[in-house]
Structures are given as structure tokens and as C-alpha cells.
Structure 1
Amino acid sequence: MEQRIHFITLSTPDLDAARAFYCEGLGWTALLDVPGEIVFFQVGPGMVLGLFDRAQFVADMRGTTADGELGGLTLSHNVPTPADVDATVRRAVEAGGTLVKSPQIAAFGGYHGHVADPNGVIWEICHNPGWRVDESGQVHLGPVEEG
């Protein structure tokens, strides 16, 4: 199997609140929106995030041990500047998110804040000067090497 994820699907107890958070708070555009069931967002080349209504999610699991609850998960979004961290966190909270950690200097040397979406999924909004993606799509972590 390729080392790749194509879909990340999150169970949500309130699809309308989740849609508002992602569309209004984060400024995202839905790839496909099926009211009362699921909203898909393309989040990268070949990668989609799905927000699946919890009742629909549980029915889809058909009695497996998956109960629709999430735990120990953080999604991260990197932005160009610390001011962008502040603005993004503020917009997310205004759109129904819950402030988990106010924007501040991070232990790794960047600047970040955390906000939970209406499902309780924690988003780290981060300015990380040691993170970059080159033209080929390869992620690099750590200081930029001088050429």
C-alpha cells in the first residue's frame, strides 16, 4: 500500500455547526455538500476531509465498535506569519470554534494557537519557520539549508 491518505472522515454530532465553522470560520469551500449527511473539502492534492453526520456515521459502521467519538487527534494548518495565526484563530472562534490555547510562542520556535471545531477536533493554527513544501510537494521540517 502507498504511504498516502486520500480521505480523512470525522464524525460530527452537528453537521450544520461544523459546516459553518469550516466554511465561515476557516473560509473553506465545500467540494461536495449533502445536507444532513456529509460535507467534503479538498484539503490537498488527492486529499479530502469529510465531515459525516454522526447518526449517518454510526449507521455506516453497522454495529462495529466505532462509536463516532474522537480522541487524541489534532489537525494542523500552517500560515505565513504570526499575525495570520491571530487572525485565523479569531475567525474560527467567531464562527463557533472554542479557544483551546491562545496564540503564543511555541516550544519549537514558531507561533501557534489551538481552537476546537464544533466536533471537538482541535486545530493547531501555526506559523512554523522550519516547515516548508518544495515545488515537488515534498515536506521539509527543520531549518532551511543554505545552498
Structure 2
Amino acid sequence: MDPHITLVTLGVEDLDRSIEFYRDGLDLPMQERPEDETIAFFDLEGAMLGLYPRDLLAEDATVSPEGSGFGGVTIAHNVADRDAVDAVLAEAESAGGELVKSGREADWGGYSGYFADPDGHLWEVAWNPYLSAD
């Protein structure tokens, strides 16, 4: 397998609400789409983020759409410094996300926190002194 990710698709309950969160709240660049389209794509500099109705995504994967709690997956967004962690967490919260874990020193030597989008998808925002945020 070629070691890169090109697309992460999140199953969402309300596509319009999720578009507002990511496009308007977090200011992610969204590709143009017809208004009746059931999927939205955002450019993430080297990868794409897709939003698709949860029930249709489950149907496509031939699994049940039912489920709750921690799904065992987080999405990470690395930033250039500690202050940027707190700024992104505040931006996500003001956009309608839920602050799950405020920024704090991490046992691996960096600084990180978590927010959840309107569907509960967890995003880690981290400053990692061992990785480039580019």
C-alpha cells in the first residue's frame, strides 16, 4: 500500500449543520457542490475531508449506522506552537464544537487538547516538538 491518506470521510447526522461548522466556523476551504448533493469535500493541503450522511456511509460500508461512544478514532491537527493549540480549541468551541479536553502538557513532551465536532468526531489539536506542523 502506498503510505498516504487522501480522504477521511465523516458520517454526519445533519449535513448542513456540519458544513456550517467546518466551512463557516473553522473556515476550512470547501469545494463547490450542487445544493442537492449529499456529500461535501474540504481541501486539507494534501488530503481531503468528506462529510456524508451517517446512514448512507454505513450503507456504503455494509455496516449498521447504530453506535455510540468512542469509536476508537481521532483526527489530529498539528500546529506550530502551544498558543496555537489553545487558539484552535477556542475557535472550534466558538464554532459550535465541544471542548473535550483543554490544552495541557502531554506525557510525550508536547502540548495538546481535544474538541468534538457536532457529531462527536474527536479532533486532537497538538503542538509536537518532534514533528513539523507543515
Query: Partners of 2:32 and 2:66 in 1: how far apart?
Result: 21
Shift of residue 55 of structure 1? 4.0
**8 Å CA contact 1:11, 1:57 repeated in 2:** yes
Bigger CA radius of gyration: 1
**Greater share of residues in strand:** 1
Structure 1 residue ranges, 4+ long, deviating more than 4 angstroms after superposition: none
**8 Å CA contact 2:40, 2:51 repeated in 1:** yes
Query: Partners of 1:34 and 1:73 in 2: how far apart?
Result: 30
Structure 1 residues 34, 67: closer, same or farther in 2, change over 3 A?
A: farther
What SS is found at the alignment partner of 2:89? helix
Deviation by residue 1:89-120 (Cα, 9 ceiling, x = unmatched): 00101111011101111111111110000111
CA RMSD of aligned residues (A): 2.3
TM-score, L = length of structure 1: 0.77
Shift of residue 67 of structure 1? 2.0
Q: Which residue does 1:127 correspond to in 2?
A: 127
Structure 1 residues 55, 34: closer, same or farther in 2, change over 3 A?
A: farther
Structure 1 residues 25, 68: closer, same or farther in 2, change over 3 A?
A: farther
- Which runs of 5 or more structure 2 residues have no equivalent in the other structure? none
Query: Partners of 2:128 and 2:42 in 1: how far apart?
Result: 24
**8 Å CA contact 2:110, 2:128 repeated in 1:** yes
Q: Which residue does 1:86 correspond to in 2?
A: 86
Query: Partners of 2:35 and 2:53 in 1: how far apart?
Result: 9
Deviation by residue 1:22-75 (Cα, 9 ceiling, x = unmatched): 123322110244445111012232x2110102244345x28x224275711100
Structure 2 letter corresponding to 1:67 = P
What SS is found at the alignment partner of 2:65? coil
Shift of residue 2 of structure 1? 2.0
TM-score, L = length of structure 2: 0.84
Would you say how many aligned residue pairs link Structure 1 and Structure 2?
131
Q: Which residue does 1:25 correspond to in 2?
A: 25
User: Equivalent pairs: percent with the same residue?
Assistant: 38
Structure 1 residues 3, 33: closer, same or farther in 2, change over 3 A?
A: same
Q: Which residue does 2:104 correspond to in 1?
A: 104
